[in-house]
Amino acid sequence: MTKTKPSLPEAMLAALPHPVILLDGTDHIAAANSAAEAFFQASLPFLKRTRIVDLVPFGSPLLALLVQVRSRGAAVAEYRVDLSSPRLGADRIVDIYASPMAEESDEIVVMLQERTMADKMDRQLTSRGAARTVTGLAAMLAHEIKNPLSGIRGAAQLLEPALGEDDRLLARLITDEADRIVKLVDRMEVFSDERPVEREPLNIHAVLEHVKRLTTSGFARHVRIHEEYDPSLPPVYANRDQLIQVFINLVKNASEALGSSDDGEIVLSTAFRPGIRLSVPGSRDRVSLPMEFCVRDNGPGVPEDILPHLFDPFITTKTNGTGLGLALVAKIIRDHGGVIECDTGSSGTTFRILMPAYHERVDAAGTMTEQ
């Protein structure tokens, strides 16, 4: 039995990387390409039994767009439409292009173009601008606050021996709070460090194993940490100390999100994802970011209202948090030419880091250089 060869239009439709569906006059799906099957997480036979209203969120702008197309008899586009739902998942931002199939026909062709990575890059740029604001603020605080605090702390220490027990407790409170504020300013000053990062080729698995040993002997001792490593991964060109700081921050956040849960679990994973090329701030060329490192937990997830601003300074879900941990993580990854993103839901949270791989190249003089 020979397979029927698809027609040229069918083959072209199947080759498109964007979801494309054909809706009949009752908004039932009449046809769909493989990208649409993947987007809606359903097979073609299932989609053909389904109306588009049953696949998208209630009151979605997509439905109003279909009405416009039929009333105008012309193509209509709408950008940055949120189709996120429990069925489709979170962060499903798309551009929608809809057009009548033919004149005097109620059939409509709809193409969806996901903006997920573009939006995540926008967030990276927003975080970068916020970090610059913190840089100026840190410089101001270092001069205007740290010096007076030093005097206040010294005065409290001089007074302490001459005070009664109750007053001594207050003097110690003054010195402790002065120290806490100085530490906060010191953490903010890290954002003003624009020196080039000293990097070398690193085995990411050695870094992650070091982080696991540190965390499981401390704040994450109550959590099971599993590894899902790609053993064939090439070296990453990075600063070891800064990467350790990044992953300790991420594991600490995951551990705190799990709380005292009996089934709390953190997964550290690595993978090679060829084909991801982005225009990264600081580079005029499109940079390949094939190295994927993830920290995943099965906690309650990040609140939706905080998610878009998660890497901005002073944004935190913790009662006593400063909101600088993830902002610093984003700065370190950005300084390495990479990006960090967060996917979250009721089943947990994944922080995903994409970074360039290390490779050597020979310059015009025949000298081996690192990149």
**Could you tell me the CATH superfamily of domain 8-114?**
PAS domain (3.30.450.20)
pLDDT tens by residue, 111-127: 988 765 555 555 555 55
The percentage of the chain sitting over the pLDDT mark of 70, rounded to a whole number, equals 73
d(Cα 249, Cα 215) in Å, to the nearest integer? 10
> Can you give the pLDDT at residue 366?
42
Residue boundaries of the structural domains of the chain: 8-114, 118-192, 200-362
Q: Residue 206: which residues within 8 A CB-CB, separation 6 or more?
A: none
**CATH 3.30.565.10, applies to 200-362:** yes
Question: What is the identity of the amino acid at 116?
Answer: T
In this structure, which long-range contacts are made by residues 283-290, counting pairs with CB atoms below 8 Å and at least 24 apart in sequence? 283/337, 287/337, 287/356, 288/356, 288/357, 289/337, 289/338, 289/339, 289/354, 289/355, 289/356, 290/354, 290/356, 290/357
Q: Confidence class of residue 87 from pLDDT cuts 50, 70 and 90? A: confident
Please state, in angstroms and rounded to a whole number, the distance separating the CA atoms of residues 153 and 192: 26
Mean pLDDT (whole number) for 126-148: 58
| Whether pLDDT at 139 is above 80 | no
Tell me the pLDDT tens digit for each residue of 231-283. Answer: 989 999 898 888 988 998 899 989 988 887 788 899 999 998 775 555 544 45
CA distance 267 to 214: 15
pLDDT of residue 270: 94
Task: Look at residue 227 in the predicted model and tell me its pLDDT.
Answer: 94
Categorize the per-residue pLDDT at 132 as very low, low, confident or very high, splitting at 50, 70 and 90: low
CATH 2.40.10 fits 118-192, yes or no: no
Q: How confident is the model at residue 364 (pLDDT cuts 50, 70, 90)?
A: very low
Band the pLDDT of 316: cuts 50, 70, 90.
low
Question: Over the chain, what is the mean pLDDT?
Answer: 78
Over residues 170-193, the mean pLDDT reads 70
This prediction has a pTM of: 0.52
pLDDT value for 41: 86
pLDDT at 184 over 90: no
As a whole number, mean pLDDT of residues 147-159 equals: 80
Residue 363 has a pLDDT of 43
Q: Rounded to 5, what percent of the chain is helix, strand, coil?
A: 40, 25, 35
Residues 6+ apart with CB under 8 A from 370: 199, 200, 201, 237, 358, 360
Q: What is the CA radius of gyration of the chain?
A: 26
Predicted confidence band of residue 165 (pLDDT cuts 50, 70, 90): confident
Residue 38 reports pLDDT greater than 90: no
| Confidence band, pLDDT 50/70/90 cuts, at residue 205 | very high
